[in-house]
Amino acid sequence: MASDASPWPVPADAPAPDDLSRCVHCGLCVNACPTYAVTGLEAESPRGRIHLARAVDEGRIELTAAVQGHWDLCLQCRACEAVCPSGVPYGRIMEHVRAQVAADPPSGGRARAIRRFVLRNVIARPAVLALAVAPARWYAGSPVRAIVRRLGLAARLGRIGALEAQLPRHPGRPVRPGTRLAKPHTVTGRAVLFTGCVMGELFGGVHRATARVLARGGIAATAAPGQACCGALQAHDGDLAFARVLARRNIDALEGDDTTIVVNSAGCGAAMKEYGDLLKDDEAYAARAVAFATRVRDFAEFAATLPATAARLGARVTYQDPCHLAHAQHIRHEPRALLGRITGCEVVETAGGDMCCGAAGIYSLTQPQMSASLRARKAEQFRQHHPDIVVTANPGCQMQYEAAVREAGIEARVLHLAELIDEAQRNAR
């Protein structure tokens, strides 16, 4: 319920009027927006969503279920932010309007409460998450999966079936805080590998590949103990309070020196680079959060600074930019530069390579139709360009592309950039 003084249920986390008023309605963001591309509706564009937030902020309209629906459909991909000439901080605005919806949802309150419970008590609790994910890990590599697929059973299971299509083919053993990783012959530097939540459980193979690539560049990476989930999923869902709890945990666990924190999940890296903003009103943590954020590097950003290692892979590869790498962290060149170092690797660019794939954290569960539309657009591009390998740099995108190629019957492997580089480096030995 909004207070008398503020139209927002949680005034302390309300979108800042200064942020909202930066939008001059020029519309340059509209064609970059995936939900506008699919619907053609102004209300499903960044300009439309900001307009609604401003109208609520100024008390001209109420925060109704219809308004919530337009915000809920936003992927928080930040493609709009990247092209906005006025510097509208769209990602921050949307996290703050989501916090308002989460506090007093005009519709879908029960689903939201369940989601919050899971994000707090399963995703953010390593022991519980490990238990919850264990059956999926077993299933992903078991013969049962082939039988389920042959019989078409997954298609009858609705959202569970959609998740089945997204499961990695080979999750690898989990990498958790404290897990031992590959070490270099000669150590020239050190780094902390951020292990994350689902990433560590379902993409242990990516973490190990990351550590091997770093090791060949002389970097000893450790999965430092005590680190927690980054808080991105919770923040995007409007649970800023718990995202702050997780950010403080990571700062407590990983501060103390200036070791680089390498992150191979674009969504986590973007969130961690913005801890300073998330904790700006926390007296005890504000300065520490800013210092922490300066140590965070995406895998590609960091690997591109290391000496080149011989690498060979004869394959046609398409790199698909994760939104939180291209739009939030502005890292587009480094992944392509790393691919360019691989002998025999032919890189093909596809139309919309930097447009959201529809994964967007838990979006494929909350907005399955829009997510499927965006996935199908990607599949269409893959069909036109017939890559041998689809490469990306974020676990959610990787899962979405697994589903895209499978649904479209495309014979292409889906790899994380670190996996592809690791494979190419091993080929060249």
Q: Under the rule (CB under 6 A), what is the footprint of ligand SF4?
A: 23-29, 32-35, 46-47, 49-50, 74-80, 84, 86, 88, 90
Structure tokens at 385: 């360009």
In whole angstroms, how close is the CB of 4 to ligand SF4 at the nearest point?
30
For ligand SF4, which is the closer residue by CB, 37 or 421? Answer: 37
For ligand SF4, which is the closer residue by CB, 76 or 381? Answer: 76
In whole angstroms, how close is the CB of 32 to ligand SF4 at the nearest point?
6
With beta carbons less than 8 A apart as the criterion, state whether 273 and 237 touch. no
For ligand SF4, which is the closer residue by CB, 250 or 394? Answer: 394
With beta carbons less than 8 A apart as the criterion, state whether 61 and 67 touch. yes
In whole angstroms, how close is the CB of 87 to ligand SF4 at the nearest point?
8
Angle at which helices 417-427 and 204-216 pack, to 10 degrees?
A: 50
The strand order across the sheet containing 296-298 reads 219-222, 189-193, 260-263, 296-298
For ligand SF4, which is the closer residue by CB, 55 or 122? Answer: 55
Strand blocks (E) in 55-200: 189-193
Q: For residue 98, what are the contacts with CB-CB under 8 A and spacing of at least 6? A: 71, 236, 237, 238
Q: Are strands 389-392 and 219-222 parallel, antiparallel or unpaired?
A: unpaired
For ligand SF4, which is the closer residue by CB, 35 or 234? Answer: 35
In whole angstroms, how close is the CB of 353 to ligand SF4 at the nearest point?
15
DSSP state of 185: S
For ligand SF4, which is the closer residue by CB, 6 or 39? Answer: 39
For ligand SF4, which is the closer residue by CB, 293 or 355? Answer: 355
Q: Could you write out the DSSP letters of every residue in 342-397? A: SEEEEE---TTTTS--S-TTTHHHHSHHHHHHHHHHHHHHHHHH--SEEEES-HHH
d(CA 260, CA 75): 29
d(CA 424, CA 313): 5
In whole angstroms, how close is the CB of 25 to ligand SF4 at the nearest point?
5
In whole angstroms, how close is the CB of 373 to ligand SF4 at the nearest point?
12
For ligand SF4, which is the closer residue by CB, 70 or 295? Answer: 70
Q: What is the dihedral of CA 211, 213, 251, 323, to 10 degrees?
A: -120
For ligand SF4, which is the closer residue by CB, 79 or 251? Answer: 79
The strand order across the sheet containing 343-347 reads 343-347, 312-319, 389-392, 413-416
Rounded to 5 degrees, φ, ψ at 223 are -85, 80
Place of tokens 């046609």: 316
Place of tokens 């990306």: 392
